Every structure is written in C-alpha cells, then in structure tokens.
Amino acid sequence: MAEAKALAGSVAVVTGGGRGIGAAIAQRLADLGASVAVCGRTAGPLKQTASAITKAGGQALAVECDVTELASVEQAAELITKQLGPPKILVNNAGIGAFAQPLHQMDAKEWDTVLNTNLRGVFYCIRTFAPAMIAAGGGEIINISSLAGKNALPKGAAYAASKWGLNGLSYSVAEELRAHNIRVSVVCPGSVDTELSPHAGKDKTKMLQPEDVAHAVAMLVTQAPQSFVSEILLRPTQKP
C-alpha cells in the first residue's frame, strides 16, 4: 500500500500526455498518488486522459501546450503551478516520428519539425521547470528517448538524430542538476505499439506496450533517494 501512493503530494507534468505512451505514464503516476498535468497540442485526447484519471480517483489537469514554443511552455507552467502546485516530476515524452524517406529526400521543414519537437521542446521544458525544482530542493526529470538514439535507423535519420541528441542532452543535464538533488534519466524503448511507431513487418503482439514504458518511469521516480538510474534501455522479450 505504501508503494501504491509513493508519490502522494507530488505534482507531475507529462508532455504528449493525450495518448499512447504519455497517457500510460500519466495514469501510472496518478496511480502512485501524484497530481498529474497532461500537456499536449490537442485538447480532446488530453481531456480524455485527464477524465480517465479522475474517474479512477486521481487528480489530473489537461493543459494545451506546444513544446516547440517557449511562451506556450511558460504559460502552461504558470497554470499548472497555480492549479496543482509546483511540479516535482517532469516527463518529457512529446515527440513525433519521420520514417518515410532517406535524409537526402527529406523536406527541410519536416526536419525542423522533428528536431524542434523532439529536442528543442525538451530544452524549453527543462529551462522552464528546472529552476522551480532547484528552488524546492529537488525533483525528477525523465526524458523519453528511443533505441533509435543508440542504433542506425535507415529512413529515420532525423528522428534518430533527435534521439541521439536527446540522449546527450540528458547525460549532460544530469551532471548539471545532480548537485541540486534533481535526477535526470533517459528511457530508450524499442518499438512500442503506438500510432507513432512504424509497424511494417512487425508482429504487434510482440511489441512493447505503452504500459511497459510507464512501468520504467514508475521505477525511476520511486527510487531510494541515494540511488540514481541514469538510463534505461527497454526491449521486448521477443523480437517483433
């Protein structure tokens, strides 16, 4: 029972929280007792996730936010702090894929969209939320990356570049913030059965599920204070 409410009194922010991995993470953190702000660009899915959490007895707030716009992130942070309190947990999950073309055929605008969402958006969120965590004496930042940030991904070079960059950002920021009692971790899943992942040639029944990533996040935010898991590589038991 103590584990079930290990995050009681904490406020968590989950970007890309309207569906898929983000929704699963938000639900898991709420199950652990956190008040959760689910953030994203589309109101409908955000409200559905928040409603599911409240119906299960948790507390949730749906917040429209575009992580590629610093002003939008700052406005969201102000609203979240006002309605739920200062966040202790930040899960940078918002991301988009691009798996259709080799890099030399990719439109420059599509490159910008991928990098701005998957990498710049994380910078904006950390820049916005970390100072309050420092002032409060600590916190948790979890960045959802991918095994594409470790391995070659033909026809996914922009996505892979964004995730390699996110991994490097995570390792570096972890060193910057650990003296402030803020743990920064990165989770790198393989293919997860969501609308983002390319499914061609894969057995969906063998793919990772959003709940598997949520479980990894739950492990990170419930570590003993003296421990620090900086990276999780998450693979399915069988290759899909």
| CA distance linking residue 110 with residue 98, whole number of Å | 8
Instruction: Report DSSP letters for 25-59, one per residue.
Output: HHHHHHHTT-EEEEEES-HHHHHHHHHHHHHTT-E
Instruction: Find, among 154, 152, 69, the residue nearest to 113 by Cα.
Output: 69
Strand order in the sheet with 89-92: 59-64, 35-40, 11-15, 89-92, 139-144, 182-189, 231-234
Q: How many CA atoms lie within 13 A of 84 on its CB side?
A: 27
CA-wise closest residue to 21 among 142, 114, 124:
142
74-78 CB contacts, 8 Å cutoff, 24+ apart? 74/128, 76/37, 76/39, 77/13, 77/128, 77/129, 77/132
Q: Yes or no: say if 230 and 185 are a contact pair by the CB < 8 Å rule.
A: yes
Say if CB 137 and CB 175 are below 8 A apart.
Answer: no
Q: Which of 159, 187, 210, 217 is catalytic?
A: 159
159 is annotated as an active-site residue:
yes
- Return d(Cα 201, Cα 192) in angstroms, integer: 14
**Residues catalogued as catalytic:** 159
